[in-house]
């Protein structure tokens, strides 16, 4: 397996996004090519993909690194590994590469959120050394 930063859209990436995002959420459709290109072009955002030995993209993760007055922050978002490829270390490989890149960018740590129902993912994050923070997470939704 190998983890790489996706820098251009191709048929493999479009297929993977169409297959993987519905496994992550049913609240948002997979991005189209325009939205996907906007992600790839966004300063501070990195779309990482893990490929199986046959070259198929089996997982995705977005790393966001940004600066605030108190330092450099990093977040991991939208981690998903194909259901048929789970329990093979692909998610761990994605997260490890994101951690490496965040450290290299000067972040003092990496934040992520995970739905409590995703028990295997939560166990993985704890096993990898993520600590659960006691904080209030707020979200302000914009209505359409």
For residue 21, the SS3 value is helix
Does the reported pTM lie above 0.85?
yes
Q: What is the pLDDT of residue 1?
A: 87
| Phi, psi at 83, each rounded to 5° | -55, -35
Q: What is the pLDDT of residue 92?
A: 97
> Shortest CA distance to 74 belongs to which of 60, 89, 64?
64
Q: What is the pLDDT of residue 144?
A: 67
Cα angle for residues 90, 92, 98 (degrees, 5° grid) = 105
Q: Report the distance separating Cα 85 and Cα 83, nearest Å.
A: 5
Model confidence pLDDT, tens digit, residues 48-71: 999 999 999 999 999 999 999 999
How do the pLDDT tens digits run along the chain, 144 residues long? Answer: 899 999 999 999 999 999 999 999 999 999 999 999 999 999 999 999 999 999 999 999 999 999 999 999 999 999 999 999 999 999 999 999 999 999 999 999 999 999 899 999 999 999 999 999 988 888 899 986
Q: Can you list the domains of the chain with their CATH numbers?
A: 2-127 (3.40.630.30)
């Amino acid at each position: 397996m190998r983890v790489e930063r996706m820098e251009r859209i191709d048929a493999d990436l479009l297929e993977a996004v169409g297959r993987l995002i519905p496994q992550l959420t049913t609240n948002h459709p997979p991005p189209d090519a325009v939205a996907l290109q906007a992600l790839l072009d966004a300063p501070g955002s990195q779309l990482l993909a893990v490929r199986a030995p046959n070259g198929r993209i089996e997982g995705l993760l977005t790393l966001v690194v940004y600066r605030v007055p108190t330092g450099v922050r990093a977040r991991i978002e939208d981690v998903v590994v194909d259901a048929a490829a789970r329990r093979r270390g692909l998610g761990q490989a994605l997260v490890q590469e994101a951690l490496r890149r965040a450290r290299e960018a000067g972040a003092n740590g990496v934040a992520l959120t995970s739905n409590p129902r995703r028990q295997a993912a939560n166990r993985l994050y704890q096993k990898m050394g993520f600590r659960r923070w006691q904080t209030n997470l707020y979200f302000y939704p914009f209505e359409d």
